[in-house]
Structure 1
Amino acid sequence: MKQTHSLRQKAGQFLHILFPILITQIALSAITFFDTNMSGKYGTDDLAGVAIGTSLWIPIQTGLSGILMGITPIVSHLIGSRKNNDVAYQVTQGIWLSLLISLLVLAAGSLALSPVLNFMNLEPLVRDIAFRFLCAISVGIIPLFGYTVLRSTIDALGQTRISMLITLIALPVNVGLNYLLIFGKFGFPELGGVGAGVASAITYWVIFAVALHFIYRFEPFKSLQLFRKFYGLSLSSFKELLKIGVPIGFSIFFETAVFSAVTLLMSRFDTVTIAAHQAAINFASTLYMIPLSICMSLTILVGFESGSGRLKDARQYSIMGIGSAAALSLLTALVLLFAGNHVAGLYSDESEVIGLIQHFLIYAIFFQISDAIATPTQGVLRGYKDVNPAFIICFIAYWVIGLPTGYLLATYTDMGAYGYWIGLIAGLAIGAILLLGRLVKVQRNFSARILEQNNG
């Protein structure tokens, strides 16, 4: 990354950082998309089982990965303030933390998985598929969290094209393994939806190995001496990582978990409704990769500029990023409005399921517009290292307002399953407004603090 002096230069650097991240996030989302899509083509029970399994896995994966993403603003600030010699140590501590988190997840999962699935009162076949899917994907937890640290480091250095390349390698690996293991092609076992979990676990190992290769062999990582020296585990470094990472992880968890909670609450509906809901959520999550990618880009760019004390540049990037996300959300809304039937057909061949998916996608239009404001705003706040208020806002918006509203509408009105989606829309909209208000306050305080330091 480099200092920019005009809006045109900023737009160029913003796109240079954003485009590879967007391709990376879409490809990562495509892994889940193909898991869901190909399981649905195998059978509705498999689609429902993978939907339940994914609903339990995604909040854990994204929330805990969010904690590890705390390395991004730390590294970007170090680079912006020219403290390159400290990067290797911080990244190693991130790897240690990823290993500890992975072991905790595996231990907790071994104790809690069966009771949680039993509590949901699922159809026996759906419950069995969900259980075996999660057991299979757990084999890839350690490399996945390790890769999160490596990718966050790569991105923080502005080398987002490398992250893109790694993920583009992973996508065909995952899809190919899905084909072999879900449908039992070329002599491989026919595992149905469970095969998607096995394929994802193998893919996580592949991307971790490839990322390690890039970091160890190529510049600019080689000159930073990453993994060239052994650093023991440091609790004081963990404290700094967790201070930034935990609020990021919790804010991501609160947002993703509310969607999963809705899916779990909808287990009282029939299998067709569960499958249609999950298919619509899956496609909406793919569209969510646009504001999420902008969010991640803004964390890098705003972190770099604020670490260098260039507040005007940081503010210009924030306006550019949030405005771009809002404009793109209107375009994706048109896609959902006019091509909903074609989108639904990607997930199922059954007319009843297709009709329900298309109906759910209409509601998705509204909450993805709110996401386009809220998510990039969080990215800017992380660039300023202002992370605690955002996770409180997310908790209130999604869990105090959104989910209870959805439950009341779904349970006590004739809206049924659609009531949950209206609750989500309300929570996301309120969250977006509150986060924007926080950003305005942070930028004012940051400017005042820098001015005071300069005068002093």
Structure 2
Amino acid sequence: MFKDRFKKELKTTIKLAVPIIIAQLGVVLMGVTDNVMVGRLLGKVPLGASGIANSIAFLISSLAVGGMSVVAPMVSKYYAEKDSSGLKELYVSTLWVTGIFSVVLTGMGYVAYANFQWFQQPDIINQTSSDFLWILILSNIPLYFFISLKQFSDGLSKAKIAMVITTFGLGFNIIVNYFLITGTAWWAPMGLLGAAYATFLTRILMAVLLFVYFKYSKSFSHYFSHLSFTFNKGLVSEILKRSIPGGSQFFFEIAAFSFAVIMMGWISETALAAHQIAINIASTTYMMATGISFAGGIRVGEAWGQRSPKGIRTAGYASYFLVLAFMGISMMLILLFDNALLGFYIDDQEVITAALPLLAIAAFFQLSDGFQVVGLGVLRGLSDIKIPTIITFVAYWCVALPLGYFLGFKFGFKAQGIWWGLLVGLSLSGVFLYARFNNLTSSAALRRRFVTGAK
């Protein structure tokens, strides 16, 4: 009986996860194509400059990107309860919260742009990174709205539209990237800044397309027509109460990797470029794993709305099974094709030699990375956010970074030492999040939550 239910859940989760994964992959591949084109067309110094700017911009955006992911499980819960009016109010309130994030995080981004010297990078990196960073900070605003709108299509198990728009955006980004970087007969080459402007234009296009689809599509119009944009203080506060710690989970992990980028800059431009390539490859598989994580959170949220203890546990375990299978395959592919992957990014043997051991470590933390991101997703489906936030903070900032610093700079392992520290942090986070899910989904714990009406 359990095997049949588990197989059915696997199929349902895969069906939901695949378009989410493709959409997630499309978003991260925009960064990959930026790095490939910058590395190939402009060389290792612009690649390093774009790498640190992308890391800082992504770090700031992580508070909103990770935070707004709490909305999809809320959507699936309302949908399971057949609460259409609640969905409309949630949609409007989500847009208000996205506006708040846009203002606050753009202000934070401006501070980073105006004080770029804080990051103590080589002079040649400082000269090119700051303007690139500011354009990316502004491009985050349409990204926030796209991510927020995407939560509704995902939460309603209609993830294909976001997948199609993201795939289209990826193609658009590649074309615009090339012409803005290299120039045409009508405008001069923009070099590194051309890649940033291409990202800005692509994100605007994606947000507009998804908003228009919601407004006029028959699949969504009955949810999102005749809306009142009245500020619902209670619901906005509820979303903020969940999204701020939810975003902090994502922030603590991304911040650890972003600070690792800064430490790489302390070593050399070559180490910085090598790290950027290796982390870009690892980020690709990670963002695909987040698709499984989001699908798992949605399925757990839907089972929660149906008050089904067996459904909650089955959805969670199915997500764990899928991510371990996927990340295991990713680990093997990275180990088998490491040279080919690195050669795709840059034709610089010094950088490739420096990146090879980093990529080997990245291969081994695939399993840990997938395990911990699914743990965050399934716990988010239970609206369990505060304790996982503490777990991620301790794992990355009390273990991973200090350990990486000591291994890298005190024990002389340099770049590899920093990556070993990150691996240990990922592993600890994954183990403790899994233990948390097991504890919360025991029969006694779920009965207490159902009786008390805990959200």
TM-score bracket, shorter-length normalisation? over 0.9
Match of 1:289 among 281, 287, 290: 287
- Other-structure match for 1:67: 67
- Other-structure match for 1:247: 245
Give secondary structure in 1 for the equivalent of 2:414.
coil
- What is the alpha-carbon distance in structure 2 between the residues aligned to residue 139 and residue 377 of structure 1? 31
- Other-structure match for 1:92: 92
Matched-pair contact (CA < 8 Å) for 2:61–2:105 = no
Offset of residue 249 of structure 1: 0.5
- Other-structure match for 1:325: 323
Matched-pair contact (CA < 8 Å) for 1:36–1:51 = yes
Match of 1:415 among 413, 416, 421: 413
C-alpha RMSD of matched pairs (Å): 1.7
Is 1:174 aligned with 2:173? yes
Matched-pair contact (CA < 8 Å) for 2:379–2:385 = yes
Structure 1 residues 213 and 135 mapped into 2: Cα distance closer, same or farther (>3 Å)? same
Structure 1 residues 450 and 431 mapped into 2: Cα distance closer, same or farther (>3 Å)? closer
Matched-pair contact (CA < 8 Å) for 2:312–2:441 = no
- Other-structure match for 2:428: 430
Structure 1 residues 206 and 452 mapped into 2: Cα distance closer, same or farther (>3 Å)? closer
Once the two structures are superposed, residues 65-97 of structure 1 have per-residue CA deviations (whole angstroms, 9 ceiling, x without a partner) of: 222222212211111111111111111111111
- What is the alpha-carbon distance in structure 2 between the residues aligned to residue 231 and residue 122 of structure 1? 45
Matched-pair contact (CA < 8 Å) for 1:59–1:257 = yes
Give secondary structure in 2 for the equivalent of 1:346.
helix
- What is the alpha-carbon distance in structure 1 between the residues aligned to residue 225 and residue 128 of structure 2? 40
- What is the alpha-carbon distance in structure 2 between the residues aligned to residue 70 and residue 323 of structure 1? 22
- Other-structure match for 1:340: 338
- What is the alpha-carbon distance in structure 2 between the residues aligned to residue 232 and residue 186 of structure 1? 49
Deviating more after overlay: 131-140 vs 25-34: 131-140
Match of 1:310 among 305, 308, 312: 308
- What is the alpha-carbon distance in structure 2 between the residues aligned to residue 124 and residue 186 of structure 1? 33
Structure 1 residues 186 and 384 mapped into 2: Cα distance closer, same or farther (>3 Å)? farther
Is 1:375 aligned with 2:386? no
Match of 2:268 among 270, 273, 282: 270
Offset of residue 452 of structure 1: 5.1
Match of 1:386 among 359, 384, 387: 384
Matched-pair contact (CA < 8 Å) for 2:119–2:262 = yes
- For 1:58, the aligned partner's letter is F
- What is the alpha-carbon distance in structure 1 between the residues aligned to residue 107 and residue 6 of structure 2? 50
- For 2:126, the aligned partner's letter is R
- Other-structure match for 1:261: 259
- Other-structure match for 1:213: 212
- Other-structure match for 1:82: 82
Matched-pair contact (CA < 8 Å) for 2:113–2:131 = no
Offset of residue 446 of structure 1: 4.0
Matched-pair contact (CA < 8 Å) for 1:65–1:145 = yes
Give secondary structure in 2 for the equivalent of 1:15.
helix
- What is the alpha-carbon distance in structure 1 between the residues aligned to residue 58 and residue 132 of structure 2? 13
- What is the alpha-carbon distance in structure 2 between the residues aligned to residue 15 and residue 411 of structure 1? 43
- For 1:153, the aligned partner's letter is F
Offset of residue 219 of structure 1: 3.2
Once the two structures are superposed, residues 212-267 of structure 1 have per-residue CA deviations (whole angstroms, 9 ceiling, x without a partner) of: 1110111331111x153232223322211012211210001111110001101221
- Other-structure match for 1:50: 50
Matched-pair contact (CA < 8 Å) for 2:57–2:109 = no
Could you list the runs of 5+ residues in structure 2 that have no partner in the other structure?
none
- Other-structure match for 1:111: 111
- What is the alpha-carbon distance in structure 1 between the residues aligned to residue 218 and residue 16 of structure 2? 17
* TM-score w.r.t. length of structure 1: 0.95
Once the two structures are superposed, residues 52-73 of structure 1 have per-residue CA deviations (whole angstroms, 9 ceiling, x without a partner) of: 1011011111222222222212
Is 1:20 aligned with 2:19? yes
- What is the alpha-carbon distance in structure 1 between the residues aligned to residue 362 and residue 78 of structure 2? 39
Is 1:193 aligned with 2:192? yes
Matched-pair contact (CA < 8 Å) for 2:176–2:198 = yes
- What is the alpha-carbon distance in structure 2 between the residues aligned to residue 113 and residue 378 of structure 1? 31
Is 1:363 aligned with 2:365? no
Could you list the runs of 5+ residues in structure 1 that have no partner in the other structure?
none
Matched-pair contact (CA < 8 Å) for 1:290–1:325 = no
- For 2:235, the aligned partner's letter is S
Give secondary structure in 2 for the equivalent of 1:396.
helix
Structure 1 residues 355 and 185 mapped into 2: Cα distance closer, same or farther (>3 Å)? farther
Deviating more after overlay: 310-319 vs 171-180: 310-319
Aligned residues, how many?
Answer: 448
- For 2:316, the aligned partner's letter is S
- What is the alpha-carbon distance in structure 2 between the residues aligned to residue 244 and residue 345 of structure 1? 42
* TM-score w.r.t. length of structure 2: 0.95
- What is the alpha-carbon distance in structure 2 between the residues aligned to residue 168 and residue 215 of structure 1? 18
Match of 2:438 among 423, 437, 440: 440
Offset of residue 290 of structure 1: 2.8
